[in-house]
Amino acid sequence: MDATAPGHARQEVRRILRSWDLGPSETADAAELVVSELVTNAVVHGTAPVILQCRADRDHFSVTVCDTGSAVEQPCPKTVEPSSEGGRGMLLVDSLTRDLHVETGLLGTTVTATL
**What is the reported pLDDT for 76?**
58
d(CA 10, CA 33): 7
d(CA 57, CA 115): 11
If one compares 33 and 71, the residue with the highest pLDDT of the two is 33
**What is the reported pLDDT for 50?**
92
Q: Is a pLDDT exceeding 70 seen at residue 71?
A: no
Look up the CATH number of domain 5-114.
3.30.565.10
Q: Is a pLDDT exceeding 60 seen at residue 18?
A: yes
Q: Is a pLDDT exceeding 70 seen at residue 77?
A: no
Q: Write out pLDDT tens, residues 36-62.
A: 999 998 988 888 899 999 998 888 899
Q: For residue 70, what are the CA distances in angstroms to 5, 18, 108?
A: 20, 34, 5
Q: Which of 12-26, 59-73, 80-94, 101-115 has the lowest mean pLDDT?
A: 80-94
